[in-house]
Amino acid sequence: MDVQSVKIDLIHWLTELQDKSILKKLQGLKEEQESSYELSAKQMKELEDRLEKYEKGEMEFSPWDIVKDKVRIRAKDAL
């Protein structure tokens, strides 16, 4: 099903929808979609720097299990 068909199908479904809880959820999704999340200049610079390092193969990665363990250790130490 292409995008236009999905939109039309949703419009038809929405016009018949009576469930207020679903309508509230849809309104929330709409508002979430409309709100813009803009990065500051500093955040954008950091993102660009990291992307550049990634593209050059200069990034170091760790397996998820190791990262989780490090976070748990830091959290215990913080308490």
Query: pLDDT band at 18, cuts 50/70/90?
Result: very high
Give the residue, 38 or 74, on which the prediction is more confident: 74
pLDDT in tens, 40-63: 899 999 999 999 999 999 998 999
Average pLDDT, whole number, for the chain?
Answer: 91
Give the count of domains, the chain: 2
pLDDT reading at 26 higher than 90: yes
Domain hosting 18: range is 3-34
* Cα dist from 31 to 25, 35, 73, whole Å: 10, 6, 38
User: What token pair was written down for 71?
Assistant: 């976070």
Whether 17 contacts 23, CB under 8 Å: yes
If asked whether residues 27 and 53 sit together in one domain, one would say no
If asked whether residues 26 and 51 sit together in one domain, one would say no
Distance between CA atoms of residues 7 and 3, nearest Å:
6
